[in-house]
A and B are shown apart, each in its own frame.
Chain A
Amino acid sequence: MKQTLRLFINSLLGSVRDLLPIVLVIAFFQIVVLQEAPDNLLQTFIGLFFVVLGLTFFIFGLEQGLFPIGESMAHAFANKGSIFWLLTFAFALGFGTTIAEPALIAVADEASKVVAEAGLIEVSEHAMERYADGLRITVALSVGFAITLGVLRILLNWSIQYIIMVGYMLVIVMTGFAPDEIIGIAYDSGGVTTSTITVPLVTALGIGLASAISGRNPMLDGFGLIAFASLFPIIFVLGYGMMF
């Protein structure tokens, strides 16, 4: 009990250290540049305490829940030897975690406004909603595709840089043909898809697979799933934009 408490206090202190830079930045700008105190100092401190507490719990849960389950599933799939189910799982994980992502919903709504204003679709609630839903499904499909391809890469030992380079080429070529309004949204959509829960889980899956299959190096082959999950949405969204 005493040990657990000490462990908890230690990681609490670690979280304080993680948060310190941003507190210093905000304090500096408030005091030196803008020269005013934030309105609700007490609320701010209570809020910061919650952030520290939340970060500590998250890291505890990461080591106890997300990492082990991700790795144990990777090992189980590798032992079972069913590539079909492994790829289905990869797709489901990518699609399922993205379709409900709040950041993506916000971006899709924003995007439909931009496109309607540019006159590419009708300025009606119905058309905008359809566009936003289509965009969400496109991004979710692209993340599902990306994780599936990434897992396939680990299985077949493809080298990551060539896939990434081909992806970059596609982005550059498609940028030339896509409507200007969609380009910023497409580039941003790569960043919004990877949430705090998805990242540790997908990382653990990749590393678990790479260490379960003989002849794979976890450093070289285990990483890279997140990279695909942030590159392919750009390509898919540019493609989606070109359809209108």
Chain B
Amino acid sequence: MQFIQELYELLIATFFDILPIAVIIFGFQFLIIRKRVKNLKAVLTGMVYVLIGITFFLLGLEQALFPIGRSMAQQLTDPEFLESVRLTVGELQWQDYYWVYIFAFAIGAGTTIAEPALIAVAMKANEVSGGAIGVWGLRVAVALGVAFGLALGSYRIVVGAPMHYFIIVGYVIVVIQTFFSPKIIVPLAYDSGGVTTSTVTVPLVAALGLGLAETVPGRSPLIDGFGLIAFASLCPIISVMAYAQLSEFKDARALKKTLKEEYYVKKSTTKPNERD
């Protein structure tokens, strides 16, 4: 019974999330464009599918992942647990939080793979690039970026370094990479920073940041609890451009190799002729 209540509440909440978007879309469609939508019935069914999909998705997350994720974030940052797995003696050092970094990395990668908005963008990028950008290649690149970003962000909370230094260094790396990356990937890479942090990642990440800021001595949950999301949206830009640079580098090397082989083949076949 409680379950049906929850389902109903979520359905209503999601409906009101979608409502302003639907009003804007159909308002402009009927008042400004004034053209009939092709397959209006299919589009409307599609919207209903999206509504149902997001509702069930959130319901499942609330039931299965969020409670476990939150309690794990709490347990891993608990001083008692840290005391039992520590590497150093005396006061807790930043190294003693190693399970936190590993957890941040793993949960960042895992939640990003399941992020619906990223699946959507990867599908579009694959279609538009004519298959040159693989759906899984992009998703894994983004996931690794988020994973690294969260691990780095957790480290920052533990040591208490000012966040803007990290962000500025990240910006500098992005700018340098922009000049050396294949042109075609740059806009997509910039976009992938924004798509990573929505339904699945944000709630889990917030729990982790809050847990850390509450238990690490000298940190304030109000000030230091923020910032993880910023890391999770900056690092994928870097990792996606790196992914494109790597595949370009590999392609270039493969091309060089084939050219070289062809050259040798030519050389060996032309030699006898020269003797004649």
Is B191 in contact with A26, judged by CB distance below 8 angstroms?
no
Across-interface contacts of B32 in A (CB, < 8 A): 80, 82, 85, 89
The count of chain B contact residues (Cβ–Cβ below 8 Å) is: 100
Across-interface contacts of B200 in A (CB, < 8 A): 22
* B35-63, CB < 8 A from A: 35, 37-39, 42-63
Is A80 in contact with B33, judged by CB distance below 8 angstroms?
yes
Across-interface contacts of A142 in B (CB, < 8 A): none
In the docked arrangement, what's the CA distance between A1 and B25, Å? 31
Is B20 in contact with A58, judged by CB distance below 8 angstroms?
no
Chain B binding surface SS class: helix
Across-interface contacts of A198 in B (CB, < 8 A): 21
Q: Does B188 interact with chain A (Cβ within 8 Å)?
A: yes
Could you give, for residues 181-207 of chain A, a 1 whenever the CB lies within 8 Å of some chain B CB and a 0 otherwise? Answer: 101110110111111111111011001
Across-interface contacts of A102 in B (CB, < 8 A): 13, 17
Is A63 in contact with B46, judged by CB distance below 8 angstroms?
yes
* A11-54, CB < 8 A from B: 18-19, 21-26, 28-30, 33-34, 38, 43-54
Q: Who on chain A is nearest to B7 by CB?
A: A50
**B117 vs chain A, min Cβ distance (A):** 4
Q: Does B121 interact with chain A (Cβ within 8 Å)?
A: yes
Contact (A58, B50) CB under 8 Å given A188-B227, A194-B198, A219-B184: yes
Is A50 in contact with B187, judged by CB distance below 8 angstroms?
no
Across-interface contacts of B107 in A (CB, < 8 A): 22, 25-26
Is B184 in contact with A113, judged by CB distance below 8 angstroms?
no
Q: Does B245 interact with chain A (Cβ within 8 Å)?
A: no
Q: Does A76 interact with chain B (Cβ within 8 Å)?
A: yes
Q: Does B197 interact with chain A (Cβ within 8 Å)?
A: yes
| Total A-B Cβ pairs within 8 A | 340
B60 touches which of A25, A47, A200 (Cβ 8 Å): A47
Q: Does A227 interact with chain B (Cβ within 8 Å)?
A: yes
In the docked arrangement, what's the CA distance between A30 and B193, Å? 30
Contact (A200, B186) CB under 8 Å given A92-B28, A191-B232: no
Is A61 in contact with B128, judged by CB distance below 8 angstroms?
no
Enumerate 26 A-B pairs (CB-CB under 8 Å) in ascending A order. A18-B113, A18-B119, A26-B68, A26-B110, A33-B103, A34-B76, A44-B68, A45-B64, A57-B52, A62-B116, A65-B42, A76-B33, A89-B24, A99-B20, A168-B171, A181-B223, A183-B163, A187-B230, A191-B196, A193-B194, A196-B199, A199-B121, A199-B194, A199-B198, A223-B125, A224-B187
Chain B positions near chain A (C-beta within 8 angstroms): 13, 16-18, 20-21, 23-25, 28-29, 32-33, 35, 37-39, 42-65, 68-69, 72, 75-76, 81, 99, 103, 106-107, 109-111, 113-114, 116-117, 119-121, 123-125, 128-129, 163-164, 167-168, 171, 174-175, 178, 183-184, 186-188, 190-191, 193-200, 202, 222-224, 226-230, 232-233
5 cross-chain pairs, A with B, having the tightest CB-CB distances, nearest first: A65-B46, A47-B64, A54-B57, A61-B49, A58-B53
**What would 11 more interface pairs be, CB under 8 Å, given A34-B75, A56-B53?**
A51-B64, A57-B53, A68-B42, A97-B24, A187-B163, A196-B198, A222-B187, A225-B191, A226-B121, A227-B193, A230-B194
